[in-house]
Structure 1
């Protein structure tokens, strides 16, 4: 038995540091590729991307959420109010605008946008004196983002009366990485 094992291992040549898979036995290359695949899966599994911010500031027609609660993955920019995907995959995005309906006619209309294109609307159109008080407008959307894609709340046509408090927020989480 020992002789068979010795002959088996002796049949594989010894390789130097400069050898490539083209010059090594097929089994060695498959093992190296499998090890790389396992490392890639571990990295993907360990990827945690989540952000949460609140508050309200307007920048042109875009909303910024200046108070950052968490920013795992460092994709959220509180200056621009936008999240730039550091990892490709499926994300769950949520935005809430807390509004004060104080006037007889007041409208709030903004959008969650991906790369500048509107994908879901946050909308309230109050007319009349019977509707007084605060309202929260919430929009959520699962969205696929490639690395570098940007999401934010923007394209605001009307935003009068949005509260600058914890009720106005922008959040997202990576559900599944590619």
Structure 2
């Protein structure tokens, strides 16, 4: 601050000296140069005035600055006084600390020894810690492997659980099917038992029927008329079918032409007769009799000269001893040969 004020005073002194020098030299130049010199003098005075104005402004500004700096200097002095007081306190405290330090140095020495022991023990513990860290790393590696294995086992367990659930579902469905099958089997067994009972009854009935059939008479016959033409003449002719083809029970007589019922029952009779019809023989007739009474009368007409056939049948209920025979009306004829064009057949349907 004092240097700034000294610099300001120096500048003012220089400006005053320069002004005086300029005022002394102007008349000399004016005398030598005349009017030109006078103009130059006026210009120089103007420049000096401008510079003086600037210097005054600077002085004002510096004065203001000096005031500010003085105020700051006072503040600094106040802070310095406070700092010096604080330094005094700190010196006092430092002395106290030195005293306490002298007291605590033996304790520090003891603590250093204890610290060395602690360091040795710490090194030992650090070695143990390093070993533990190594072992811990190995354990972590094993743990990671174990965790991975556990995850895999969990995934396998989840898959197994899903598979087990599916198997349980299938088992439940199978058990349901088995229960249904058992019920169905029980029903089938019951039905089978009923069928077996019915079968046994049927077998018994069949046996009885077989026995009845074996015990019942067996009657059946078929016979051919013979060879050539058979003519009735002027009277009806009882036809004798003499060529026996079948005669079970011997109920048909190939000598009389009569069938005699051996038992009471229902019988079926059938006949077929043939002739060669032409202009000389235009009609063919046949009758069936039961116990001498006519049951059927049939006729046929033709002129082509080839075989003409007449065929029919009846189911009859006969008493034992009843007779059935075929009759050719008077004035007509029939024809047969080894091919059996004309036949008479019958058999017992069932006895009564």
- Identify the TM-score tier after normalising by the shorter chain: 0.5 to 0.7
Equivalent residue pairs, number: 137
Contact 1:115 1:151 in 2 (8 A): yes
Unaligned runs of 5+ in 1: 1-37
Residue 134 of structure 1 corresponds to 307
Alpha-carbon distance, 1:58 to partner:
6.0
Comparing 162-171 with 145-154, which one deviates more in the overlay?
162-171
Q: Which has the larger radius of gyration?
A: 2
- Write the distance in 1 (CA, Å) between the matches of 2:243 and 2:305: 28
Residue 285 of structure 2 corresponds to 109
- Match among 212, 232, 240 for residue 64 of structure 1: 240
Deviations 1:152-176 (A, max 9, x none): 1015234324234401000001111
Structure that is richer in helix per residue = 2
- Write the distance in 2 (CA, Å) between the matches of 1:71 and 1:161: 23
Residue 172 of structure 1 corresponds to 346
Residue 333 of structure 2 corresponds to 160
Contact 1:85 1:148 in 2 (8 A): yes
Matches within 5 A, 1:79-94: 79-94=255-270
Report the 3-state secondary structure (helix = DSSP H, G, I; strand = E; otherwise coil) of the residue aligned with 2:239: strand
Q: 1:151 to 1:44 in 2, by over 3 A?
A: farther
Contact 1:90 1:175 in 2 (8 A): yes
Higher relative contact order (CA 8 A, sep 6+): 1
- Write the distance in 1 (CA, Å) between the matches of 2:313 and 2:331: 20
Q: What TM-score results when the alignment is normalised by the length of structure 2?
A: 0.36
- Match among 145, 149, 174 for residue 322 of structure 2: 149
Matches within 5 A, 1:1-20: none
Contact 1:109 1:158 in 2 (8 A): no
Alpha-carbon distance, 1:104 to partner:
4.6
Alpha-carbon distance, 1:124 to partner:
1.4
Alpha-carbon distance, 1:118 to partner:
1.1
Residue 276 of structure 2 corresponds to 100
Structure that is richer in strand per residue = 1
Cα RMSD over matched residues? 2.5
1:51 matched to 2:225? The reply is no
- Write the distance in 2 (CA, Å) between the matches of 1:149 and 1:163: 28
- Write the distance in 1 (CA, Å) between the matches of 2:272 and 2:259: 15
